[in-house]
Amino acid sequence: MGETGLTTLSYVNTVIRERPRQIHKGQCGRVLIVAGSVGMAGACVLSTGAALRSGAGLVKAAVPEEIFPILQIAVPQATCTNVSDREFLRSVSVHDAIGIGPGMGVSEKKYQLIEEILSIFDGPVVIDADGITNLCRFGKKTGILKKKDNIILTPHPGECDRLLDALDLEPVSVMGRVEAAEAVSDRTGAVVLLKGADTVVTSGSGSTYINTTGNPGMATGGSGDVLTGVITAFAASGTAPLDAARAGAFVHGMAGDLAAGIMGQWGMTATDIRDQLPATLRGIVGK
Ligand SMILES: NC(=O)C1=CN([C@@H]2O[C@H](COP(=O)(O)OP(=O)(O)OC[C@H]3O[C@@H](n4cnc5c(N)ncnc54)[C@H](OP(=O)(O)O)[C@@H]3O)[C@@H](O)[C@H]2O)[C@@H](O)CC1
Ligand SMILES: Nc1ncnc2c1ncn2[C@@H]1O[C@H](COP(=O)(O)OP(=O)(O)O)[C@@H](O)[C@H]1O
C-alpha cells in the first residue's frame, strides 16, 4: 500500500542537509546535462546553471560544438563536450546523474542518443522536454521506456499527453492530473513529475505527493529547464529518485516564490528562479 500526501518544508529538511566539513567537489555530485541546440542554447544554460546552483560539484554540458562559446561564457563553471562526437559516450558512466532533454531538439538521431545513454548508464536520469518528446515520437513501437530503474520523467501537461498517447491512454484532461501521472509511472517504472500549479510527483502505486510551493509567475519560458538542473543535482548527490523529484519541485517552487517576491509575478523570468536557488537552499539548510 503506497502513500499520498504533500511535499512540505519539514519533509525537504530531511532530504537536504548540511554538508560534512571534509567534503570535496567529487563527492557533491558529477552531473551531465545533455541539452541545448542551435537556437535553444538557453535551455542548456538554464539547466546547467541550476545544477551548479543546487550544489552539484562538477557539471558538464553535452551540446553541439557551435554553442560551446555561449555555454562557456554564460556558465564558466561548467565544462562542455561535443554531443555529436561518439567519444563523449565513453565518459557517460563517470557521472552520478544525467539530465536529458531541455532544448535538445527532436529527431531520430536525438532519440538514438537517448537510447544509447540509457543503455550505458545505470544511475539516475532525469528526462524532460524534448527528451520526452523524442521517446514518445520515435520509441512508441518498441515501448517508450523498458521499465528501467532510476528514471525521472518531468513532463508538462502537453508532454504528458504525448506520453499517455504513446502508452495508449487517455489525455490528462480526461484522466485527471494525479491519475495520469500515476498511470505513466505504473506503465514505465519511472518516477513521474507532472508540472504546473500543484505539481504532482509519483512513483506510482499510490505513492503520490502534491507540491506546496510555486506561483503563476513561473509560467515563463525556461522555468522547467531550471527544474531539470535542480533535480539532476539532487539525484547526483545520492538522493533517491522520488526524493530528488519531490525536493526538486519544492526547492524550485520556493525559488520561484522568492523571485516573485523580488521581481513580481509578471516580470520574473527563469533566470530569476535560478538565481534564487542559493538563497532558497540556504533557508532550508541554514547555511
Ligand atoms: N530559451 C530556450 O532555449 C528555451 C527552450 N525551451 C525548449 O523548447 C522545447 C519545446 O518546449 P515547449 O514546451 O515550448 O513546446 P512543446 O514541447 O511543443 O510543448 C508545447 C505543447 O504542449 C501543450 N501544453 C499543454 N499544457 C501545457 C503546459 N502546461 N505547459 C506548456 N505546454 C503545454 C501546448 O499547448 P498550447 O500552449 O498550445 O495550449 C503545446 O501544444 C523544449 O525542449 C524546451 O526545453 C523552452 O523551455 C523555452 C525556453
Ligand atoms: N501557474 C503555475 N503555478 C506554479 N508553477 C507553475 C505554474 N506554471 C508553470 N509552473 C512551473 O514552471 C515550470 C514550467 O515548466 P515547462 O512548462 O517545462 O517550461 P519550459 O519548457 O519553458 O522550461 C514547471 O516547473 C511548472 O510547475
For residue 183, what is its C-alpha cell?
A: 498511470
Return the C-alpha cell found at 153: 520523467
224 is in an annotated binding site: yes
The response to whether 85 counts as a known ligand-binding position is no
Pairing assessment for the beta strands 200-202 and 191-194 based on DSSP bridges = antiparallel
Give the pLDDT mean for 7-36.
95
> What spacing in Å lies between the alpha carbon of 221 and ligand 2's midpoint?
8
Within a domain: residue 133?
yes
Assess whether the C-beta atom of 158 lies below 6 angstroms from ligand 2: no
The verdict on residue 287 lying in a domain is no
| Domain containing residue 273 | 4-16+24-282
Per-residue pLDDT at 142 exceeds 90: no
Judge whether 90 lies within some domain: yes
How far, in Å, CA of 230 to CA of 63, rounded?
19
Cα(285) to centroid(ligand 1), Å: 33
**pLDDT for res 234:** 98
pLDDT of 1 strictly over 50: no
Q: Are 143 and 135 in contact (CB under 8 A)?
A: no
Q: 103 lies in a domain?
A: yes
Instruction: Take residue 86 and report the three cell numbers written for it.
Output: 561518439
Residue 121 belongs to a domain with what CATH number? 3.40.1190.20
Q: Is residue 193 part of a domain?
A: yes
Q: Which amino acid is at 22?
A: Q
Q: Which ligand is nearest to the CA of 160?
A: 1
Pocket of ligand 1 (CB under 6 A): 40, 42-43, 102-103, 129-130, 133, 156-159, 196, 221-222, 224-225
Q: Rounded to the nearest whole angstrom, what is the distance from the C-alpha of residue 219 to the centroid of ligand 2? A: 5
Spatial CA neighbour of 111 closest among 166, 174, 176: 166
Only one residue has cell 560534512, namely: 20
Instruction: Enumerate residues 6+ apart whose C-beta is below 8 A from 98.
Output: 31, 32, 33, 34, 92, 117, 121, 123, 124, 125, 126, 232
198 is in an annotated binding site: yes
Query: Are the beta carbons of 287 and 278 closer than 8 angstroms?
Result: no
Closest ligand to C-alpha of residue 216 is: 2
Q: Is the pLDDT reported for residue 59 higher than 80?
A: yes
Domains held by the chain: number: 1
Runs of H (alpha helix) within the chain: 9-15, 41-53, 68-74, 108-120, 129-138, 157-166, 172-175, 177-188, 223-236, 241-263, 270-275, 277-285
With bands split at pLDDT 50, 70 and 90, how would you rate the model's confidence at 3? low
Chain segment 157-199, per-residue pLDDT in tens: 999 999 999 999 999 999 999 999 999 999 999 999 999 999 9
Q: Is 131 annotated as a binding residue?
A: no
Residue 93 covered by a domain: yes
Percent of residues, the chain, with pLDDT higher than 70: 99
Q: Is the residue at 28 inside a domain?
A: yes
> What is the layout of strands, in order, in the sheet containing 4-7?
4-7, 208-211, 200-202, 191-194, 151-154, 125-128, 97-100, 30-34, 58-63, 79-82
Average pLDDT, the chain: 96
**How do residues 228-284 score in pLDDT, each as one tens digit?**
999 999 999 999 999 999 999 999 999 999 999 999 999 999 999 999 999 999 999
For ligand 2, atom 9, name the residue with the nearest CA: 219
Assess whether the C-beta atom of 214 lies below 6 angstroms from ligand 2. yes
Residue 175 lies in a domain: yes
The torsion angles phi and psi of 194, rounded to 5 degrees, stand at: -95, 115
Contact 274, 42 (CB under 8 A): no
Q: Which residues pair with 79 in a beta bridge?
A: 60
